[in-house]
Structure 1
Amino acid sequence: MADTQAQRSDGTTVAQFLSEHGIEIQAVDQDHAAQLGIFAAVPAGWQTLPEGQFPGATSVLVEPGLVENGFAPNAVLLVGRLSAAVDSESLLDCSFADARVMPGWNEGVGHSEDLGGWPARFIRGSFMAEQLELAVTTRYAVVGAPEQYLVQLTATVLADHADRLEFDVAVINDGLFQPVR
């Protein structure tokens, strides 16, 4: 896995890249994502919220047993069909800027890796939101050919719970792609 710290250092986010290239995203539901082999793996004790509760999200998971200060550990899966083909590597190189613009961002790791043979990026770190320190992992991938889909899976937990939920976050991240047979 190659370190990508130096890639796309101009700070362009994914949304900016798509806008600059006139590309729109059409969100897909859980069934469509499953046809692509994309799933939100649900660790023990976590719940999948009803589809449609968060418009644009393919799937949202929460861990209701660890709500603190009004915050519940969560994972959000976004899968969207791109309106036109993109250079996957150029788009994915922008994914790190999405995290790095978060207030008080403290990066742990960022690297390139494939997701079931598709190009992907992974970043882990922490940031501040409403006086809470949050630990986050985000995986981006571009899957499909000739029709392409942008996949983003973000798991967010209180930094104080990061060690306690490390296994759950790994289950969520590791279960993202299951090849369709």
Structure 2
Amino acid sequence: MKTIITYIALIFICASCAETTHQEKAPIEKSLVEKKISVASQIAQLKTDGYQIFDYVDEKTGDTVIMQQYFMAFLKSGPNRDQSKEEAAKLQEAHMAHLGRMYEEGYADISGPFGDDGDLRGITVYNVPTLKMADSLANLDPMMKSGRLMVEIKPWWAGKGYPLR
């Protein structure tokens, strides 16, 4: 009798878990479907927001690829690098906070240092409509304000939504 009750309890537990899992997935799947927008809508929104774009059809897949102009900021050693170790550490902390804020607010898509100790220190890719905006955001960085770093920004084209691999 104990064995039968145990099996029945297990069946109810499994059934309720399966139902809960199904219920939890449904809103997630629904929200993904709702978020999917057409290529035409994406193009219209990007143009409305002032982004430079063009599109083409990929011959292999038949998909429309949207190319968007981003802005790649090259961070270079600046003229004022004589800060004390403590000052440099504080500037680095503020620099990281600035880059984190740019990412969180959607202005920058990726940032990172180079792996050597050359004059070219790192990059940030800004996802903004204009060079002027990218330059303004980059120069808000405490490292730029202090002169420890300088920035050179170049327009750069990439497929909208393509991940790094």
The TM-score bracket by the shorter chain reads under 0.3
Q: Specify which structure has the bigger relative contact order, considering alpha-carbon pairs within 8 angstroms and separated by 6 or more residues.
A: 2
Is the helix fraction higher in 1 or 2?
2
Is the strand fraction higher in 1 or 2?
1
Larger Rg: 2
